[in-house]
């Protein structure tokens, strides 16, 4: 029956009848049963083209395979919508999933020390707490943006370097 409900909701959205049936209220405030997950597991915050990297992950990601500089990727993620940012691994499990997904390529993550050398912050304007830098990395004054190397350790790099990336959304 849930599949039928999804079709009905999609038709209502297309015909502009969402507010009449309280769908906008569910999207903005969550389902009436108080659960955190809307019907059919659809997140009201994250676009449908975002997906988890591993089973059980609460975060969803959108890979950006096109190599570009750090600032361009930060802006691209912001353009995806509110609350979407250049991916930030919060712990080893999330980093491992990101490295596995990247398939042996280095990629930008949302951590830098552009404003204050040696003080790493996330693109969410929070102190970066998880910083597994490779030996000798994270200390150079001319490289201010952080990427993940194929082995899973962080490196600071020139922000103008062209690397792929991923956007992250927390449902």
Q: Domain 45-169 maps to which CATH number in 3.10.100.10, 3.40.30.10, 3.90.740.10, 3.40.50.920?
A: 3.10.100.10
State yes or no: pLDDT of 37 exceeds 70. Answer: no
Q: Is pLDDT at 133 greater than 70 in this prediction?
A: yes
At residue 29, the pLDDT reads 42
* Number of H-type helices and E-type strands within the chain: 4, 7
Q: Where are the domains of the chain?
A: 1-44, 45-169
Q: In this predicted model, what pLDDT tens digit does every residue of 60-103 receive, in sequence order?
A: 999 999 999 999 999 999 999 999 999 999 999 999 999 998 98
pTM: 0.74
Burial annotation 37-55 (CB, 10 A radius, 16+ → b, else e):
ebeeeebeebeeebeebee
Burial of 167 (0-12, 13-18, 19+ CB in 10 A): buried
> What is the model's pLDDT at position 39?
40
What is the distance between the alpha carbons of residues 4 and 76, in angstroms, rounded to a whole number? 35
- Evaluate if residue 154 carries a pLDDT over 70: yes
Task: Find out whether 43 and 60 touch, Cβ atoms under 8 Å.
Answer: yes
Closest CA to 52 of 100, 122, 108, 7: 100
């Amino acid at each position: 029956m849930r599949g039928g409900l999804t079709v009905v909701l999609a038709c209502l959205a297309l015909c502009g009848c969402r507010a009449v049936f309280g769908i906008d209220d569910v999207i903005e405030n969550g389902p009436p049963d108080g659960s955190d997950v809307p019907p059919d597991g659809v997140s009201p915050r994250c676009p449908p083209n975002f997906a988890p990297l591993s089973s059980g992950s609460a975060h969803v990601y959108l890979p950006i395979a096109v190599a570009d500089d750090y600032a361009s990727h930060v802006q691209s993620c912001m353009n995806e919508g509110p609350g979407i940012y250049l991916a930030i691994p919060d712990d080893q499990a999330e980093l491992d999933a990101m490295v596995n997904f990247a398939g042996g390529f280095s990629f930008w993550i949302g951590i830098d020390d552009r404003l204050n050398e040696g003080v790493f912050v996330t693109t969410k304007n929070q102190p970066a707490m998880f910083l597994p830098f490779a030996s000798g990395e994270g200390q150079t004054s001319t490289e201010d943006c952080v990427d993940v190397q194929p082995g899973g350790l962080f490196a600071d790099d020139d922000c103008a370097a062209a690397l792929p990336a991923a956007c992250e959304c927390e449902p």
